[in-house]
Amino acid sequence: MSSAENSYTAKDFSSDQEVKWCPGCGDYSILKQMQTVVPTLGIKKEDLVFISGIGCSSRFPYYMNTYGMHSIHGRAPAVATGLKLTNPNLSVWVITGDGDGLSIGGNHLIHLLRRNVDLNVLLFNNEIYGLTKGQYSPTSEFGKYTKSSPLGSLDHPFNPLALALGADATFVARTLDRDPQHLRHILEQSHQHQGSSFVEVYQNCNVFNDGTFEAFTDKKQRPYTTLDLKEGEPLIFAKGEKGIRLNGLKPEVVELSEGFSPNDLWVHDSSDATKAYILSRFFDESLPRPLGILYQEKRFTYDEALQNQMDKAHEILGAPDLDQLLRGKNSWTVA
């Protein structure tokens, strides 16, 4: 088998295992786009590793013909950290979901992001527990009726991107299962970013939460309900009819036909943490839902810093000498 770069096709990344998601599940699309994108990234197949936790999304590694681990519930970020620190040459992808990554594994996720280990996190958000057959998840809307909340859920939902920004993530993006091109673009950008990349993918669970993102994916509604973030460009949506301007720190929707020009609008700058945070709070019907890269920052990665320490230790303490280590500083001889 060749491991030369750029000679792969999507088929090379498809494993021999039968894919067992429900027909129509959004996970299929994400898998397909991943298999399409990886041959173009210039990574050797043997250097790609997918690490997942538990849940529907976490079956993902079984279907990629690469190294992979289907670990335990919520722990994929920690597993991936140990893997990456041991072999920094690997391209490591964490596949998680809203239950896995934000409920049971929330702690590991935020600590991974603040450490900025150089790996990619894809959080498939379907706002429901699918594998356990339909309980509300930490991203389900308040009042959601499910089997475990027959009178409506009492939980205030997480805003995953605001959480990631709060944890000082260095790459924060949102994309959709139903938009292959957008999805591929974000996967590429995520790979390119050095440090922890956090990508939320709106994923339809057609069995237990069908249509939850319909407003954002439906071709007719999407132009009006979402905002495509483009670096250096003004925030325009609704087919060019509307834009967003900042009034102080307050975002406002303005009609471009009513005397506002693109010059009045907020221009997207993904290096601005404050604006990224404001964007992440576009989270109800009053504002369009931002898609794309909200934030990216170049910050030293944990793996780099660790390697620097290792090099430095070698420089200061010298080459390892086991006998000297065992002897220690204060030894004596019994003759």
Partner 1 sequence: MSTVKELQKVTIHFAGDSGDGIQLAGSQFTNTTALAGNDLSTFPDFPAEIRAPIGTVAGVSGFQIHFGSVEIDTPGGRPDVLVAMNAAAYRKNIPNLKSGGVVIANTAGFDKRNLRLAGYDDEENPLDNKPEELQFYEVDITKLNREALKDLKMSPREKDRSRNMFALGFVYFLYSRSLENTLQFFQDKFKSKPEVLEANIRSLKAGYNYGDTIEALQRYRVEKARLPKGEYRNITGNQALALGLIAAAQKAQLDLFYAGYPITPASDILHELARHKNFGVKTFQAEDEIAAITAAIGSAFAGGLAVTATSGPGMALKTEGLGLVLMLELPLVVVNVQRGGPSTGLPTKTEQSDLFQALYGRNGEAPVPVIAASSPADCFNAALEAAKMAIEHMTPVILLSDGYLANGSEPWAFPKSEALPEISAPVMQAADENYLPYARNHAGVRQWALPGTPGLEHRVGGLEKEDRTGNVSYDPDNHQKMVELRAAKVSAVAQNYTPTTLEQGEPEGDVLVVGWGNTKGAIKVAVSQARAAGLAVGQLHLRNLHPLPSDLEIYLKGYRRVLVPELNNGQLVHVLRSQFLVDAQGFDKIKGQPFLAEEILTKIKELMPHE
Which residues of this protein are in contact with partner 1, per CB under 8 A?
Answer: 1, 3, 15, 17, 44-47, 49, 51, 54, 61-62, 64-72, 75, 78-87, 89-90, 107-108, 111, 306, 309-310, 313-314, 316-320, 322-323, 325-328, 330-335
Closest CA to 119 of 47, 57, 65, 226: 47
Q: Is 22 in the site for ligand SF4 (CB under 6 A)?
A: yes
Among 54, 163, 205, 244, binds ligand SF4 (CB under 6 A): 205
Collect all residues with Cβ–Cβ distance below 8 Å to 257 and sequence separation of at least 6: 241
Q: Which does 108 bind (CB under 5 to 8 A by kind): partner 1, ligand SF4, none?
A: partner 1
Q: Which does 25 bind (CB under 5 to 8 A by kind): ligand SF4, partner 1, none?
A: ligand SF4
Q: Which does 107 bind (CB under 5 to 8 A by kind): partner 1, ligand SF4, none?
A: partner 1
**Residue tagged 């979901």 (tokens):** 97
Q: Which does 183 bind (CB under 5 to 8 A by kind): ligand SF4, partner 1, none?
A: none
How far is residue 21's CA from residue 58's CA, in Å, rounded to a whole number?
11
Closest CA to 42 of 96, 1, 91, 115: 91
- Site size for ligand SF4, by CB under 6 A? 11
Stretch that binds ligand SF4, among 11-19, 20-28, 104-112, 229-237 (CB under 6 A): 20-28
Indicate the residue among 80 and 244 with the shorter CB distance to partner 1: 80
In terms of C-beta density within 10 A (0-12 exposed, 13-18 middle, 19 or more buried), how is residue 118 classed? Answer: buried
- With H, G, I as helix, E, B as strand and everything else as coil, classify residue 260: coil
Stretch that binds ligand SF4, among 72-80, 159-167, 205-213, 227-235 (CB under 6 A): 205-213
Beta strands 236-237 and 242-247: pairing type? antiparallel
Beta strands 120-125 and 91-97: pairing type? parallel
Inter-helix orientation angle 180-192/27-37, to 10°: 50
Binding region for ligand SF4 (CB under 6 A)? 21-22, 25, 27, 56, 126, 130, 205-208
